[in-house]
């Protein structure tokens, strides 16, 4: 059993912290907006970032984006007050640049730090079945692995610092582009008089086959569990996808790499969000492509 500070108890952080408690750890949580729910025995709520760090061998952060991670770690934050030798794990999805800057500063001050963004969403956080993409030194990965195993099923070492974030945004860029491609095909099929099921039956066993089609189909019917069957209730929201696409575009700009389809995907998701649909599942991009954004959901 370890004492763990858990900073950021939002949609993802709270269930993750609870799973650490279930695994026998003592968890000292902190959030600038404390959760409005009763907390279980070994999960306590600290009055400040600094109080949560007291005696913690491991510090986990699950914050919205790069600016909050910078604020929590730098200046008078975690790097100034974490106990000597503590392992630092940032599970937030943030820009690669900030992840590398904060990790370099942590190293400078003698801490092992890894970036460990997740995929699997709130369901994965609740069910302790997240995938963690871990960037940082091997020694940091080895120390983080048993802690992360209490919250996830798959823990992958993706290489140097920031590579966890890199893996996450590259994967999500593929996902967004493939979802748009599949959605365009269904919209065209509708106009050509081809039924959803027929296109699905052909493409799912042909070269158009991909996860966006076979596991997360953007039209109702062929894949009963996909969000299209429940009015595009998220799932993974269009707003979250837009955030990740923007991170991918920022990283591509930094690296001087052209990602034209990634850029187009970011534009399309921005249009969907500005039409008031950011709360819907990201597969609702088909509504934008079909031109039926005027429905209430």
Among 57-65, 137-145, 186-194, 261-269, which window interacts with ligand NAD (CB under 6 A)? Answer: 57-65
Interface characters, 221-250, with ligand NAD (x: CB under 6 A): ---------------x---x--x-------
d(CA 186, CA 179): 11
The two structure tokens encoding residue 10: 């939002």
Minimum distance between the CB of residue 124 and ligand NAD, rounded to whole angstroms? 8
**Cα R_g (the chain), whole angstroms:** 20
Asked if residues 35 and 12 have their Cβ atoms less than 8 Å apart, the reply is no
Q: Which of 70, 121, 208, 220 binds ligand NAD (CB under 6 A)?
A: 121
In degrees, rounded to 5, the angle at the alpha carbon of residue 263 between the alpha carbons of residues 238 and 185 is 65
Q: Which of 19, 28, 58, 92 binds ligand NAD (CB under 6 A)?
A: 92
Does 147 interact with ligand NAD (rule: CB under 6 A)? no
> Whose Cβ is closer to ligand NAD: residue 11's or residue 109's?
11
Least Cα distance to 245 among 268, 262, 260 occurs for 262
* 26, 54, 84, 168: the active-site residue: 168
Number of Cβ within 10 Å of residue 58's Cβ equals: 21
Q: Interface residues for ligand NAD in 153-172 (CB under 6 A)?
A: none
Catalytic residue flag (residue 168): yes
Asked if residues 149 and 197 have their Cβ atoms less than 8 Å apart, the reply is no
> Whose Cβ is closer to ligand NAD: residue 9's or residue 79's?
9
Instruction: Report which secondary-structure segment, H or E, holds 212.
Output: helix 211-214
Q: Which of 24, 40, 55, 64 binds ligand NAD (CB under 6 A)?
A: 64
Q: Which of 44, 68, 107, 129 binds ligand NAD (CB under 6 A)?
A: 68
Minimum distance between the CB of residue 8 and ligand NAD, rounded to whole angstroms? 4
Asked if residues 110 and 83 have their Cβ atoms less than 8 Å apart, the reply is no
Asked if residues 31 and 68 have their Cβ atoms less than 8 Å apart, the reply is no
d(CA 203, CA 207): 7
Minimum distance between the CB of residue 204 and ligand NAD, rounded to whole angstroms? 26
Per CB under 6 A, residues contacting ligand NAD are: 7-13, 30-33, 62-65, 68, 71-72, 92-93, 118-119, 121-122, 236, 240, 243
């Amino acid at each position: 059993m370890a004492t763990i500070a858990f900073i950021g108890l939002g949609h993802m952080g709270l269930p993750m912290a609870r799973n650490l408690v279930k695994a026998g750890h003592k968890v000292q949580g902190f959030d600038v907006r404390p959760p409005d729910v009763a907390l279980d025995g070994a999960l306590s709520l600290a009055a400040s970032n600094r109080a949560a760090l007291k005696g913690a061998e491991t510090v986990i952060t699950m914050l919205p984006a790069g600016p909050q991670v910078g604020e929590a770690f730098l200046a008078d934050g975690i790097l100034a007050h974490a106990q000597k030798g503590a392992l630092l794990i940032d599970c937030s999805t943030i820009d690669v640049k900030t992840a590398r800057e904060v990790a370099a500063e942590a190293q400078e001050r003698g801490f092992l730090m890894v970036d460990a963004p997740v995929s699997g969403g709130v369901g994965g956080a609740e069910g302790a079945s997240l995938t963690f993409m871990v960037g940082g030194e091997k020694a940091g990965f080895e120390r983080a692995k048993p802690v992360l195993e209490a919250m996830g099923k798959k823990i992958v070492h993706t290489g140097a610092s920031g590579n966890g974030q890199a893996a996450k945004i590259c994967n999500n860029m593929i996902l967004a582009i493939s979802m748009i491609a599949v959605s365009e095909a269904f919209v065209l099929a509708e106009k050509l008089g081809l039924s959803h099921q027929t296109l699905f039956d052909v493409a799912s066993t042909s070269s158009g086959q991909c996860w966006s089609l076979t596991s997360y189909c953007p039209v109702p019917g062929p894949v009963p569990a996909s969000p299209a069957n429940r009015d595009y209730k998220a799932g993974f929201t269009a707003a979250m996808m837009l955030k990740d696409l923007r991170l991918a575009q920022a990283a591509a700009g930094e690296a001087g790499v052209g990602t034209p389809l990634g850029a187009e995907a970011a534009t399309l998701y921005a249009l969907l969000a500005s039409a008031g649909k950011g709360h819907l599942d990201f597969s609702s991009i088909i509504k934008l492509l079909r031109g039926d954004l005027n429905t209430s959901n």
